[in-house]
Amino acid sequence: MRLRAYLVDDEPLALERLRRLLQKTQRVDVIGSTTVPEEAVAALTADPPDVCFLDIQMPRLTGFDVLGKLPRQPIVIFTTAYDQYALKAFAVNSVDYLLKPLEPEAVERAINKVEMLRESGLTAQPALHSLLKQIAESVRDATPVYLDRIASRLGDRIWFLDLADVTHFCAQDKLTYAVSDGKSYCVDQSITYLEKKLDPQRFFRIHRSTVVNLEWISEVVSLPGGMLSVRLKDARRTDLTVARDRAREFRVRVGC
């Protein structure tokens, strides 16, 4: 019998990738998904799945907050970009945790664990509300950990790019690209997700579709209508536009 799974991740691209990976296993039926933590609480309470794939870091409610609001704890596989949460995850009825970007082999191993639990007749632990509250508070209070590299997938190969070498990120045709050494690498994360996960001391969102590495800016030029143009010090001398609604904050940020 196929596993019934519910997926929770505030990043739509990550959610879609997980859905595709689970569908490819032909062992899981995705009964629902959401990018809104509050919706997850309602769905998981009304129709508990066999397993919940749950992101940890989300706005308003963390994954631990979501679990803390449930009357009964489901079997959980956490998904996260930061392995610092691993021990906390296993402290609360987690079968496994998957590091982003998710890999097919890791997803298969996690499913194997869930199936072994189900076949053995073991059920989820009772609610651990006190522990969940403590963990949720510690996650919220923790010093932010920003990405220092990012993965790009091309077929069966994965490239890891050092963020110091990435001049900017741009969104085009519903895809996001990291630009490094004049080449564009497709990444799973959206611009909105990257804005949250990149160090704000190094990266700034200058447009709804562009995040720039401030260290690669060589000059700034004023444009009509209150916009700005930034020129990068890459080989192509790339020009990027700073949107009018972001120009003032950008000037403050770079001191110009």
Note down pLDDT in tens along the chain; length 256 residues: 899 999 999 888 889 999 999 999 999 999 999 999 999 999 999 999 999 999 988 878 888 889 889 988 888 898 887 666 555 555 555 667 787 778 899 899 999 988 888 777 655 554 455 555 655 565 555 556 788 899 998 877 888 999 999 999 999 988 999 999 999 999 988 998 898 889 988 999 999 999 999 999 999 999 988 899 999 999 999 999 999 999 989 998 888 7
Q: What is the pLDDT of residue 187?
A: 94
Q: What is the pLDDT of residue 126?
A: 46
Q: Which fold has domain 149-254?
A: OB fold (Dihydrolipoamide Acetyltransferase, E2P) (2.40.50)
Question: Which residue ranges does the chain devote to CATH 2.40.50.1020?
Answer: 149-254
Question: Which residue ranges does the chain devote to CATH 3.40.50.2300?
Answer: 3-141
**Right CATH for 3-141 from 3.40.50.2300, 3.30.565.10, 3.40.50.1110, 3.30.43.10:** 3.40.50.2300
Q: What is the pLDDT of residue 11?
A: 85
Provide the β-strand partners of residue 229: 221, 241
What lies within 8 Å, CB to CB, of 10 at 6+ separation is 35, 36, 37, 55, 58, 59, 193
